[in-house]
Every structure is written in structure tokens, then in C-alpha cells.
Amino acid sequence: MTALLGGAPRPASAEDWPARPITLVIASTAGGMMELIARSLAQDMSASLGQPVVVEFRPGGGSVIGVQAVARAEPDGYTLLQTNIGPMVFRPLMDKAITYDANKDFTPISLVADTPNAVLVNPKVGVKSIKDLLAYAETKDHKLSIAHPGIGTMGHLCGVLLAKQTKIEGNYIAYRGGQQIILDLMGGQIDLGTPAYGPGMEQVIIAVAGDKRLEAQPNLPTLKESGIDVVCSTWTGIYGPPNMPPAIVAKLNAAIEASLRKPDVREKFQKIGLQVLGGPPGKMSERVAADRVQWTDIIKGLNIDFSK
């Protein structure tokens, strides 16, 4: 019996963890804000934890594939998930086929940052403001193509809300990430895009959907300033599989907090439109609960069609 017990796998403990590399799964394509956040955190966490933190992209299904993979992983601290409000709040509210529960099937670790969504336009049509956009929509019989970074994302909801407020009849097109939206706007294939703000949007952005102007782009008006009562922003957080040991969660949270408190990290995030959040794991649970309350009735009222 002693020999058998001695050979049995032991649960991970904070004392000997981490003993090997940690995988940080991003449930979206490479590029854009999610990758910038992940690379920055991974570098600092690797240094403070003494083991490499490897960023791995698992896109597909509006982020659901990567999210579900982490939910099924061993809760040993070696598989983490970087995700945002879409998969954890919106998608379960919008799609009855979703089988995971953000409260039960994940361990919250850290609420990292928040960024407003952006309103992007095809630069070939000469639209420079929301006023211009409304005038352009009239010339197109109010029918415009609207790109978003996947069904059930904040970008998806932002596009639907913007169309509703401006009486635009949207042809909604789901992309696997914000970078391809920018490329297709530049190429003239689509009219509008509503992904989270990020680098490389300078030639196509006309407004942000936050509650205030970005410090990184102080000349960009908000939608509310432009007369459109829409506020959309996308938070990013780190989760683990369910039932992770609290001591390991605390160790991970401390490593992320240390990174977010660094002046150079805060300055870097600010320059790309991110508001640093941080805080204990419970802060993310509170944010998720508040978002559910805020968005449940909105989503029901929008009656989103998953075929689009």
C-alpha cells in the first residue's frame, strides 16, 4: 500500500509549483490587443515564477473552442486562459448551445485591463465622423456591412447597438480577429467594423465607444459625444480550470499584479488604449456578475440572429 501511494500523482502545491512551463491559451487568432497583453504578461510572469509562460492560440467558434479546452484541463496551474467579456458573459446569454458556465467551470485569477470598442470605416468612402457616416448610410439606403470579431463578442454587440441607434440595416460579418477587419476595410470590402480598439487603426477609426476619450487618442470623440448613446468596452482577464488550489491562484495573481504595477507596463498599455485594472480574483467575479445584470435585458431586446 505504501508503494502504491508513493507512486500516485500528487496534487500541485504552491511549494513545488511551477515545476515546468505554463501554457497561456488565447481563444482567438494571433495579432491585436489580446496578443500584446499576453506577450507582456508572459514575459514578466516567466521571470517572477521561474518557468516559461508559453502563449498558445486556439481560435475558433467565437472563442468557444479555446475556452472549452481550458475548462477541461487539469486544475494544476499549468494551463491558463486569457479571455474577455464575450465568451464569459455574452455567449452563454446568447447561445443555448453553450455548455460551459463561467462561474462553475473556471477559476478566476486576475482582471487585467479594459479597452473601448472602436468604430472603423472604409477609408475609400470619405467618412471622417459619425455625422459623415449617417450621411453615407443614407446614400446606401441605410444598408451597410458591419464586421465584428466573432458572434457573441463585445464587438458584435457594439455593431448591433450602433446600427439600432442609427437606423442602419446591418449585414453582420463575423471575423476571427480585428486585424483582418482592418485589412478588409482598407481594401474596401466592407463598410464598418466595431472591434476593440487596438494598434494599426489610425487610417480607419472615426470614434471610440468608451465612456470617455482615450488618453492614447485624445482627438477621437466618443459615440456619446457624437450623439449616439452607445458605450461598449472589452475587459480582458486570466482564468484557470475549475477547482484550482487557492495557493497557486494566489501565486499567479501576485505575479500578474506585479507586472501590472510596473510603470513601463502601465505606460505601454496606456499608449495602446488599455486601462490597467488588476486586483484580487474576486474582483473579476464581481465584474462578471455586474456585466450579466447589465447586459441580460439588452441582449434579449436585440434578438440576435446566430445565422448572421
Per-residue pLDDT of the chain (308 residues; tens, 9 = 90+): 444 444 444 555 677 899 999 999 998 878 778 899 999 999 999 999 999 999 999 987 777 889 999 999 999 999 999 999 989 999 888 888 888 888 889 999 999 999 999 999 999 999 999 999 999 999 999 999 999 988 888 999 999 999 999 999 999 999 877 889 999 999 999 999 999 998 889 999 999 999 999 988 899 999 999 999 999 999 999 999 999 999 999 999 999 999 999 999 999 999 888 999 999 999 999 999 999 999 998 888 887 655 44
277 & 188 share domain: no
254 & 192 share domain: no
Domain boundary among 188, 212, 233: 233
In the prediction, which pLDDT does 307 show? 46
214 & 187 share domain: yes
Tell me if 10 is assigned to some domain.
no
Continuous segment of H or E residues that includes residue 82: strand 79-84
In the prediction, which pLDDT does 126 show? 93
- Nearby residues of 235 by Cβ (< 8 Å), 6 or more positions away: 84, 85, 111, 112, 113, 114, 277, 287
Could you give phi then psi for residue 160, rounded to 5 degrees? -65, -45
93 & 134 share domain: no
Model confidence, pTM: 0.84
CATH number at residue 32: 3.40.190.150
Tell me if 9 is assigned to some domain.
no
Tell me if 210 is assigned to some domain.
yes
SS3 119: strand
Tell me if 217 is assigned to some domain.
yes
120 & 253 share domain: no
Domain boundary among 233, 267, 283: 233
Domain boundaries, position 293: 20-114+234-302
The number of domains in the chain is 2
Alpha carbons 60 and 202: distance in angstroms, whole number: 27
239 & 99 share domain: yes
CB 160 within 8 A of CB 302: yes
Alpha carbons 153 and 6: distance in angstroms, whole number: 47
